[in-house]
């Protein structure tokens, strides 16, 4: 990729690095959407394993280095899946926040973890 870094957003920069890493290894052939989604799930499970059998308090004492590693893997595959499907991460998250603001109006959802379908 030859684009001027100055014009790139932070997320575009991250994705560029991930794509370069992938292309150098000729891994695009494996990175279809189905496998990328599965990879996100697998990395998310490794993240969950850090907290398994721990209560909430103990969970906050988990080694940040390990959280960093596993969360980075989740992000890496999530960014690659966004890229694969031409999705703008900032845009889709902001849109989702708007949608959720309708499903979870402050008046009804304040202080409760209930699902919108039970509010």
Q: Which is nearer to its own copies, 2 or 113 (CB)?
A: 113
Instruction: Round to whole Å and give the CA distance between 48 and 44.
Output: 6
Does residue 32 touch its own copies according to CB under 8 A? yes
1, 3, 17, 119: which one binds its own copies (CB under 8 A) = 17
Does residue 5 touch its own copies according to CB under 8 A? no
Does residue 40 touch its own copies according to CB under 8 A? yes
Q: How far is CA 103 from the centre of its chain?
A: 22
Report the first-to-last Cα separation within the chain, whole angstroms. 48
The answer to whether the beta carbons of residues 87 and 110 sit under 8 Å apart is: no
34, 102, 117, 118: which one binds its own copies (CB under 8 A) = 34
């Amino acid at each position: 990729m030859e684009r001027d870094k100055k014009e790139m957003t932070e997320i575009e920069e991250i994705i560029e690095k991930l794509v370069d890493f992938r292309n150098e290894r000729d891994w695009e052939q494996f990175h279809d959407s189905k496998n990328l989604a599965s990879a996100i799930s697998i990395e998310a499970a490794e993240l969950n394993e850090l907290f398994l059998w721990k209560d909430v308090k103990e969970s906050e004492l988990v080694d940040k280095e390990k959280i960093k590693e596993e969360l980075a893997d989740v992000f890496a595959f999530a960014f690659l899946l966004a890229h694969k499907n031409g999705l703008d991460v900032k845009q889709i998250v902001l849109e989702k926040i708007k949608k959720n603001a309708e499903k979870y109006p402050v008046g009804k959802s304040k202080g409760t973890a209930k699902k919108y379908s039970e509010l």
